[in-house]
Amino acid sequence: MHMPRMVDTKHVFQVSGIKNLQKKGKLLHGIVQLGGKYIGGSVYKDGTTHLIVTRELPSEKFMAACAGGKWIVTPEYIFDSVKNGSWLPEGPYELDIVSKGGVPGTSNPVKVWRERVTSRAMAGAFEGWRVLLMVNEPTRRDMLRRILKAGKANVYSYPPPSHADVTHVLTKHVAEHVKAHNAPCYSIEHMALHLFGEDVCSDMGLTWTEGQPEETQEANDALSTDFSELESEARDYISQIGERKRLPDILSYYAPGPYAQTAVANFSNVQSLTECGLFTQALEELQLYLLPGQLPPAPFLQPLMRHALHGDAKPFFLSEFRTVLHSILRNNPPWGSPASGTFFMKVLQCPQCRKGVWPLLETSLRFCMGSKPCHSLPSPASPELLRFHGDLQAFMLELFKCDMHSASKGEAGDLRSSVLYRVFWSLWEHSTLASKAVQQIAQLLVQASLWERSVSEGQERDCERDRRQTLVLTLQDTLGVVVDYWWQEYSRLNRSLVDKGLEDLAQHIAILCQDLPPDVLQTFVPGMVPTRLRMVTADAIFRNVCCRNGIIIGAEPISLRKIVSSYLPALGRLCAVRTGGSRVPRADSGGPGTEPTSYSWSTQGTDTGMASSLVNGAGLGKENIPKGLNRVNTAGETLLHRACKRNQVETLLQILALPGTDVNVKDHAGWTPLHEACNHGSRACVEALLRHQPTPHLYSQVGGVSPLHDSLLGGHTDIAMMLLQHAGSELLQQRDGRGRTALDLASTVTLREELQRSALAGDAVLEALGSEVRDLPFLETCSCLLTCLLLTYQLERAVPFPPPFSSSQAQDRPLSLGVKLARALESHSARRLTAGWGDPRLVRLAEDMETALGVEECLAQLCPAIRDCQGPHTRLLITLLEEMKAHRAALPSHTHTVTHTPD
């Protein structure tokens, strides 16, 4: 009797994108013949193990299968398995979405996610995501939910549960109202960007933005028909900009490989001379054999390095040793031989500590700055030895540059064999930019910037200033090389990982910069070499300043719209902040053998280490420290919370007087001290908190409840009016979790009128404060950050502003992309214009142009104190914005005559 074949649950198939019924029938017959299972239908099923496609598709099944780490194979896998009579290994048949026209060297994201899931490194591509899905159309919402759940994300609908800790807000178009959920807001194409990376998505030409099922895709394509030519021109423009940003070719300076076979040099005489202490003669002997492909044994150079660093070497020896190092690098660059990188890793380390290249570089930098290195070095340092350390730092920078450029040309071998990788990343740190060594070099750069400024009157010699400036420039270039190397290695696969790495490093630098005085910070950020890092660092520092002054900025990615619409109004509010002036460094700071003293350019930037020691009792009398300051109860409440609940204003004032006090500290439920004071009617505590600098966050919400809502729900109307008198009418626009404003909670008409009068009084106070600059150095520093952010954003994104037109040229010159975009945006919104554009870079380009065309309105709303400020950085910022406005005025006159049609 014939027994039916058992269904193999390890081979459960779905098919996507195959419209030929005959071919599809053969596939289904083959699956059944081999004992597999086929699942039909137009939606993805979680039990699927294999998806059959002929190419990459903008479909639900394709994205969900990739997110779930499933096998995505071509039809040949079924046909060949049928011929074989049993299932074949899937590897040779796995779809490679980057092999055709992709970026060379790019890993296949389909394979990457599958390997991560099958190795149990993660459950799915969206593991850890807690997504608030704000999409109105039910069909599309259900489809996106299935894709997210396939990648093991937790998905919530609006409004989310009170206990939900949302990490991502996904919506068709980023909107302002989603800021209240305290999570970054992304358009739905962020899912595809996370899976495949921006460059891979654009190279594939997929339209992930809408993410529609195939049956509705044609309707969406019809929307973009009129702008397809503009889309193509914008894509060409972005490609040209990318070509201009390629790294310059410096490799031709170095000896090309592979090298011709030459007789092995005999370096035994070098060893004999060094053993006899004849170091200069050993160098002369060594130079006779420095040919391409000839590497002297590393142990022969280590005694020479020890002699150079010991402090007894003559200037001639130091100069010759530097020449030898450069000759070896030129004849044996890291990409020329696998042994070359290992050679430099062995030679470039402290002969006494022998801990590696980075400890040697750190020791050399600290020695030049007069700080304590890893061990005792010659003191006082001779000018010749300081010069040699500077040359050594420059040589190591040149080695790093060679490594980076060889990697960009595809000359380097395995990533982990490169010098840069082995110096700045450990095996466990390769996926993050904020490794220990990278963080240390950032810290050294901040310290060196202070050290450069602290030249005392007796040291004001040109050579000393030049030496310090050279060291700072070397550190800036080194950090730039490290960041660019990491960016070019990882941006090909996972752009979101790169963006997250840059943001983490920028936030680390922003914390380090809290104590830089205004004049140092105004040169430190613009001096950062990588434009990407400069942009996100300026953004991180400015957001931190806003946060410490009670100004909440949305967490959406950097865009021209965010700079103009959010940061400029925030600058107007910062104009009224008085920080107490910049602090002047002590005369004894930065002397030889001492650590540079840190200074705060605002009262919010208290040094973390200093604050910690003061809070723990060092430097303060015990009578000034409230009892139980550092105790936290089971609810996570600090003494600050408990004092506000009990209206203990004396204790509150004692705590606020301590350096480093976090006025916005949260308990386990997320409540701040201001929440507690408003909830319990502690009027005196609320008044003290509002007087404190930085002011507490008035817009923070827990379960949709803000301090203002808390006070009204508790019946404490006097506190509610106090908050409105402090923050003005803007606070009345805030809504709670049920969509209610403060006026909606007012029980009587009289109370509503009182709340409105209090808000108007607050507006009057804020307007008066905004009419004058209360702290010019503070405002200038903030303006410098925004100027730097605006310039680097324009450089990175290359917004095609319309060129100036004269009346005679307007008829003859062909219209540029900027003019065409501007003309289209006069009659359509950026949302309508880019409805069918699949590349998020093109969408961002149109949105930036739309913002630039509307900058005149934002300039008109800027407070008079900033418009009239004569500080150089503030004036430059206003000039840049006015130039943006002038670009619109330079458009051909008929551009302005088009009426805007509704979308």
Mean per-residue pLDDT over the chain, rounded? 77
DSSP 8-state code for residue 576: T
Q: What is the pLDDT of residue 208?
A: 43
Residue type, 489: E
Which of 113-122, 236-245, 494-503 has maximum average pLDDT? Answer: 113-122
In contact, 518 and 582? CB cutoff 8 Å: yes
Among 143-157, 704-718, 860-874, whose mean pLDDT is lowest?
Answer: 860-874
Q: What is the 3-state secondary structure (H, E, C) of 129-167?
A: CEEEEECCCHHHHHHHHHHHHHCCCEEEECCCCCCCCCC
Instruction: Say whether pLDDT at 690 is over 50.
Output: yes
* Residue that wins the pLDDT comparison between 424 and 803: 424
Percent of the chain with pLDDT over 90: 17
Residue-wise pLDDT tens digits, 561-578: 888 888 888 888 788 766
Q: What is the pLDDT of residue 477?
A: 92
Instruction: Say whether pLDDT at 72 is over 90.
Output: yes
Q: What is the pLDDT of residue 201?
A: 65
Instruction: Say whether pLDDT at 680 is over 70.
Output: yes
Residue in the block written with tokens 């240390």? 440
Burial of 446 per CB tally in 10 Å (0-12, 13-18, 19+): buried
DSSP 8-state code for residue 415: G
Give the helix ranges, DSSP H, for 165-252.
190-196, 198-204, 214-223, 228-244
Which positions ≥6 away from 393 have C-beta within 8 Å?
Answer: 361, 364, 365, 368, 471, 474
Residue-wise pLDDT tens digits, 654-673: 888 876 677 888 888 889 99
Residue in the block written with tokens 């919370």? 641
What CA–CA distance (Å, rounded) separates 382 from 467?
13
* Residue that wins the pLDDT comparison between 130 and 251: 130
**Topology adopted by domain 700-769:** 1.25.40
* Residue that wins the pLDDT comparison between 6 and 225: 6
What CA–CA distance (Å, rounded) separates 754 from 777?
38
**The dihedral sign for the CA sequence 652, 657, 663, 669:** negative
373-to-367, 376, 444, 452 alpha-carbon distances in Å: 6, 7, 12, 18
Instruction: Say whether pLDDT at 70 is over 90.
Output: yes
How many whole angstroms from its chain centre is CA 765?
37
In contact, 333 and 340? CB cutoff 8 Å: yes
What are residue 676's phi and psi, to 5 degrees? Answer: -65, -45
Structure-token pair, residue 679: 């909830």
Residue-wise pLDDT tens digits, 516-537: 888 888 999 999 988 889 999 9
Question: Which strand (E) or helix (H) includes residue 15?
Answer: strand 12-15
Domain with CATH 3.40.50.10190 in the chain: 12-118
755 closest CA partner among 770, 740, 765, 745: 745
Which positions ≥6 away from 278 have C-beta within 8 Å?
Answer: none
Residue in the block written with tokens 């910037």? 449
What confidence tier does 50 reach under pLDDT thresholds 50, 70, 90?
A: very high
What CA–CA distance (Å, rounded) separates 430 from 418?
12
Q: What is the pLDDT of residue 74?
A: 93
Among 194-208, 269-283, 497-511, 727-741, whose mean pLDDT is lowest?
Answer: 194-208
Which residues are bridge partners to 12 per DSSP? 37
In contact, 13 and 34? CB cutoff 8 Å: no
Is the pTM higher than 0.75?
no
In contact, 251 and 411? CB cutoff 8 Å: yes
Q: What is the pLDDT of residue 541?
A: 93
Instruction: Say whether pLDDT at 119 is over 70.
Output: yes
Q: What is the pLDDT of residue 460?
A: 54
What is the C-alpha R_g of the chain? Answer: 32
Mean pLDDT of the region 689-695: 79
Q: What is the pLDDT of residue 613?
A: 35
The second-level CATH assignment, the architecture, of 607-697 is Alpha Horseshoe (1.25)
Helix, strand, coil fractions of the chain, as percent rounded to 5: 55, 5, 40
Own/partner pairs for 217-221, CB < 8 Å, 24+ apart? 217/58, 220/835, 220/836, 221/836
Question: Which strand (E) or helix (H) includes residue 13?
Answer: strand 12-15
Q: What is the pLDDT of residue 125?
A: 92
Which residues are bridge partners to 708 per DSSP? none
Mean pLDDT of the region 763-781: 77
What CA–CA distance (Å, rounded) separates 489 from 493?
8
What CA–CA distance (Å, rounded) separates 780 from 785?
9
What confidence tier does 734 reach under pLDDT thresholds 50, 70, 90?
A: confident
Residue-wise pLDDT tens digits, 391-445: 898 999 988 888 777 766 655 555 566 788 888 888 777 778 888 889 999 999 9
CATH class entry, domain 12-118: alpha beta
Q: What is the pLDDT of residue 456?
A: 55
Mean pLDDT of the region 220-240: 66
Q: What is the pLDDT of residue 857?
A: 75
423 closest CA partner among 442, 394, 395, 396: 396
Q: What is the pLDDT of residue 6?
A: 47
| Sheet of 154-157, strand order | 154-157, 130-134, 168-171, 185-187
Neighbours of 270 (CB within 10 A): 26
In contact, 809 and 815? CB cutoff 8 Å: no
Mean pLDDT of the region 629-648: 87
Neighbours of 656 (CB within 10 A): 17
Mean pLDDT of the region 344-367: 83
Q: What is the pLDDT of residue 807?
A: 40
What CA–CA distance (Å, rounded) separates 76 from 217?
27
Structure-token pair, residue 726: 């402090």
528-to-397, 472, 480 alpha-carbon distances in Å: 16, 10, 7
What CA–CA distance (Å, rounded) separates 183 from 128?
14
Instruction: Say whether pLDDT at 597 is over 70.
Output: no
Structure-token pair, residue 762: 């607050």
Q: What is the pLDDT of residue 445?
A: 92
* Residue that wins the pLDDT comparison between 190 and 226: 190
DSSP 8-state code for residue 705: B
Give Dmax (Cα) for the chain.
Answer: 105
Instruction: Say whether pLDDT at 48 is over 90.
Output: yes
Residue-wise pLDDT tens digits, 283-338: 888 887 777 777 888 888 888 888 888 777 888 888 888 888 888 888 877 765 66
Domain with CATH 1.25.40.20 in the chain: 607-697
Q: What is the pLDDT of residue 244?
A: 61
CA dihedral 187, 192, 195, 201 (to 10 degrees): -120
| Sheet of 50-52, strand order | 37-38, 12-15, 50-52, 71-73
Burial 524-555 (b: 16+ CB within 10 A, else e): bbbebbbbbbbbbbbbbbbbbbbebbbbbbbe
